[in-house]
Amino acid sequence: MYKAQGLGVCAIARKIGRSASAISRGLRRNAATRSGGFEYRATTAQWHADRAARRPKATKLAQNDALRQYVEDRLSGQVSDPNGNIIAGPDVPWTKRRSVRRQHRRWTTAWSPEQIARRLPLDFPDDPMMRISHEAIYQSLFIQGRGALRRELVACLRSGRALRVPRARRKGKGKPFVSDQVMISERPAEADDRAVPGHWEGDLILGLKSSAIGTLVERSTRFTLLLHLPPMPGHGAGPRKKNGPALAGHGAEAVRDAITKSIQSLPKHLCKSLTWDQGAEMAQHEKVKTDTGIDVFFCDPQSPWQRGSNENTNGLLRQYFPKGTDLSTHDESALDAVAYTLNNRPRKTLGWKTPLRRWKKSYYEISINRCDDRLNLPLRISLA
């Protein structure tokens, strides 16, 4: 309209609040040239806009079968142990709805879309066709009609939600039973910058019927170990004895024994410190230090961010061990398989390398410079 009134480019730009260069480009792009001239026409501009709005082009995942298969395998691949044996996990049918809280979920490799997108350049450095953004994967999952990925794959996302909603994080509460000498402020400075491997963070994830699983995460490599904490003999057999031993499997004695077993199976130079919250399950931390030689430190009350790597790992493990489920149904081989799967996921903080690879690298680098006679590692962290 302003062009028909004879206004110049700068005048039109001032009236509609845009730059003169934008108005000039719009006039050139939408000019009618059929009559031999170069004159702007509104009908031509509308035709260009309608054509640009159409999306006849198929999505990248729909066109590239190899790329689609790679994405689906990383989202919904099966969980296996280090020997390649498939661990089926709970049988959870697809109900066309979001995953229900406090119920079992399907066990898969469950790489996030960002992990998949960032890993592609590392796995296919010379193939530019094997590239996709994490947003394209999300849209293919959430938006009906994109037609590339199966709708049921949303169940493989860690949140299990059909919509992307920020997750609320609950703060844990501890019991202040520790002394000042073992507080996190006394932890060596080398543990803070994560440059030196051998400093661990630990916690419990809880389930129904007082079931629990212990988690240990190495701060530098993010390597994860899971502690099997089965119920002790006599649990649930009768009324609970007042001031009696904790028979649920995650009392101070059971946790002490599980930590000692795992720490003693590791090379000594990769077991320098352990940071825990102020839970009563670590009441026998002095015995843990005596048996293993590892220094135990405690976070400040209600400060889960001081064990950030462990809190993040616990969130990832909830996909396999949801809240409100009985964790005692999983045996030690199942826990080892889940830990192996998690340790083989690429991590953004590791430059999209896997924790297992970083763990092996740290082990070899230190072992070359130190004569360590403890070379027999357990199956879950085998160097083979």
Which pLDDT value is given to residue 173? Answer: 43
Which pLDDT value is given to residue 245? Answer: 62
Domains and CATH numbers, the chain: 9-53 (no CATH), 60-156 (no CATH), 180-381 (3.30.420.10)
Q: What's the rounded mean pLDDT across residues 320-336?
A: 92
Which pLDDT value is given to residue 235? Answer: 64
Which pLDDT value is given to residue 138? Answer: 85
Q: What's the rounded mean pLDDT across residues 58-71?
A: 88
Beta bridge partners of 206: 212
Q: What is the mean pLDDT of the chain?
A: 81
User: What sign has the CA pseudo-torsion 148, 154, 158, 164?
Assistant: positive
Q: Is the pLDDT at 320 greater than 50, yes or no?
A: yes
Q: Is the pLDDT at 174 greater than 60, yes or no?
A: no
Which pLDDT value is given to residue 172? Answer: 42
Which pLDDT value is given to residue 374? Answer: 40
The string of pLDDT tens digits covering residues 99-117 is 666 778 888 888 989 999 9
Query: Residue 98's pLDDT band (boundaries 50, 70, 90)?
Result: low
Which pLDDT value is given to residue 378? Answer: 45
Which is more confident, 342 or 5? Answer: 342
The string of pLDDT tens digits covering residues 5-28 is 778 889 888 888 888 898 888 887
Which pLDDT value is given to residue 348? Answer: 93
The string of pLDDT tens digits covering residues 180-218 is 668 888 898 888 888 889 999 999 999 988 889 999 999
Q: Is the pLDDT at 49 greater than 70, yes or no?
A: yes
Which pLDDT value is given to residue 300? Answer: 85
Query: Residue 67's pLDDT band (boundaries 50, 70, 90)?
Result: very high
Query: Residue 161's pLDDT band (boundaries 50, 70, 90)?
Result: low
Which is more confident, 111 or 240? Answer: 111
| Percentage, residues of the chain above pLDDT 90 | 34
